[in-house]
Each structure stands twice: as structure tokens, then as C-alpha cells.
Structure 1
Amino acid sequence: MEKVLFIGYLKKTFMVIEDKCIFKLEDCSYWIQEDSVIFSNDNYIQKIKLVKMNERIYLLAGDTTVLVSQLHHAFQSRIFSFFKGWTGHESYSLSTGEIITQLSGQYIRKCVLSPSCLLFYYKNTTYINVSGTCAEISILPPLNNLKLL
């Protein structure tokens, strides 16, 4: 039996790890693709439906059905300065106060001034998606959130 969880619009898609998509819905929830269905995001502002069938959740967009799971720890921010890409050990400050450090050994050179980014936690790993790249990272919380002993 099919249970409709959401009917609305897809606000944005992000291509991330292992050719998966993250879908941001108009209610600002984030969902990650769990299967290998090719999802065309040419027209990302499209009407979608989230349905629960057989204890799994699917995103239906036109003729495409994608198995998804909700990302509860995802947020958008902006890199506070120039994004120079990834050299294997880059660190960047975010506009929300966090400091992120690259953990993976990926090497990609880009140069973008203060790009927006998506941070998300998936399968025990934290990632950042920025300017078409995705890297495994660690996050230091904003200094104003740290409690002194």
C-alpha cells in the first residue's frame, strides 16, 4: 500500500558522492538517492511526490522513481573566502562559523570567491559539496558554541 508523505516541488538537486543526488524539497528537507537510477536534473524545479511503499521511501518525479532516505543532518552555508579546491588537507571557514578540514585525499583545483556549499552527514561520514566537488571533511563548531570549563 502506498502512503503519500509529501507533494510539492523539488527546490534543488546536488550531485554528490558516488554519482548520488541529494534533493532539497520546498519544505527545506534533504533526501539522498539510495539506488543507481539515473536522475535527470535538467529542470530541477519540478513537481515531485514522496511516497512510502513496503517500508521504503521513494521520490517520484515524472516517469522517474528514486529510492531515497532523509538526511537529518544537512545544511547550507558559504565559504568565507576564496575556495581554492582540494589538495588533501585544505581548511576553510564557513559563514555560519564552523571550520571545515578535508579528510579525503582527493585533489581538485578550483578558484571561486565565497561559494555556497552543502554540508551533510551520510553513513557515518561528513561531506561538503561545493562548486561541483564533494569531499569528506571534519567540522569544528563555531567558537561561540564552545563552552569553557
Structure 2
Amino acid sequence: MSEYQIVKTIKIDGDFDGFDDEVLFKLMDGSYWIQNEYKYWYHYAYCPTVHILKSGNRHYIQVQGRNEIVSIRQISDITESQINGEFNGWEGETQYQLMNGEVWKQSTYNYDYTYAYMPVAIIYHAGSGYKMKVEGTIAEVQRIK
């Protein structure tokens, strides 16, 4: 780890399920980071301590006590709100109104049934478009209002 400089050591805010593709990480300081390269590694932990590392002009994340490191980038184009009513997952062209008045529509097909009442919705720009994360499920979305 000598080529990496530790920028900060902090906890992830909530569940951590490991790395996959464009995984979003919210840290306890309120900052958001997104996985910048594909790497799959499953490891569940609740609020694990992580190191934010830097090498050159790139940032990386490492769960404390583990060897796996993945490239990340900080993002600031985030909307946090709640679904206004029931959330029944994704069905293809699902639309959801948020408590902040915005309306978002699923833009690519993905079927995933998950029920929750007024869950938190996090919308972020992942580079390839906007994604909405609700109750551990994610779908590509576009804003319609």
C-alpha cells in the first residue's frame, strides 16, 4: 500500500455489499462516491470503516482490514428525497413522484419487485445517465417533471 496515500478514514453510511459496477457509496460525512471501474467482490458489512486512498490523481476505496481496492470518484449531482407513497419496485416504465415534487420515470427495462412505503430515493448521475436507488434496488431513470 506504499503507492497509496490515505486521504481519510471514515465509515460508510449504512449497508455495504461490496463492489460491482457503478456502486454508490455514501460516507458518514455526507459525501458520495461512485465506483469508477468494474470489479466484483461481495462482502457484507454494516457501516464498515473504509480508507479513501489517493494515487496520482485517482481515488480508491478500501474496506479496513481487507486487501481489495477499487477506483472511485466523488460525485455531487445527487438528489435525496422520498417516494410519495408506495414503492413497488421496477416494471419497465415505472414513474415515481418524490416528496420534493420531482417526477422520475424508469428509462430502461428492469423488473425488480420490492415493496416499501415512502422509502428514501437517491438519484445520481452515473456517467451513463441518471440512476435511482431505492431500497437496495437501482434503475436507470429520466426526469419528466
Q: What TM-score range do you get, normalising by the shorter chain?
A: 0.7 to 0.9
SS at match of 1:86: coil
Query: What does residue range 120-139 of structure 1 map to in structure 2 within 5 Å?
Result: 120-139=124-143
In structure 1, distance between residues paired with 2:92 and 2:73 = 29
Alpha-carbon shift at residue 137 of structure 1 (Å)? 0.7
Match of 1:54 in 2: 56
Letter in 2 for 1:26: M
Aligned-residue Cα RMSD (Å) equals 2.1
Letter in 2 for 1:121: H
Q: Is the 8 A contact 1:13 1:23 kept in 2?
A: no
Q: Is the 8 A contact 1:58 1:67 kept in 2?
A: yes
Q: Is the 8 A contact 2:51 2:61 kept in 1?
A: yes
Alpha-carbon shift at residue 37 of structure 1 (Å)? 4.2
SS at match of 1:89: coil
Paired residue total: 138
Alpha-carbon shift at residue 103 of structure 1 (Å)? 0.8
TM-score by length of 1: 0.79
Alpha-carbon shift at residue 31 of structure 1 (Å)? 0.8
Q: Which consecutive residues of structure 1, in runs of 5 or more, have no partner in the other structure?
A: 142-149
TM-score by length of 2: 0.81
Alpha-carbon shift at residue 67 of structure 1 (Å)? 1.3
In structure 2, distance between residues paired with 1:52 and 1:33 = 14
Percent identity between the aligned chains? 25
| Cα distance per residue 1:14-34 (max 9 Å; x no partner) | 66xx64421111111111122
Q: As a proportion of its length, which structure holds more helix?
A: 1
63-72 vs 91-100, greater mean Cα deviation: 63-72
Find the structure with the greater CA-based Rg.
1
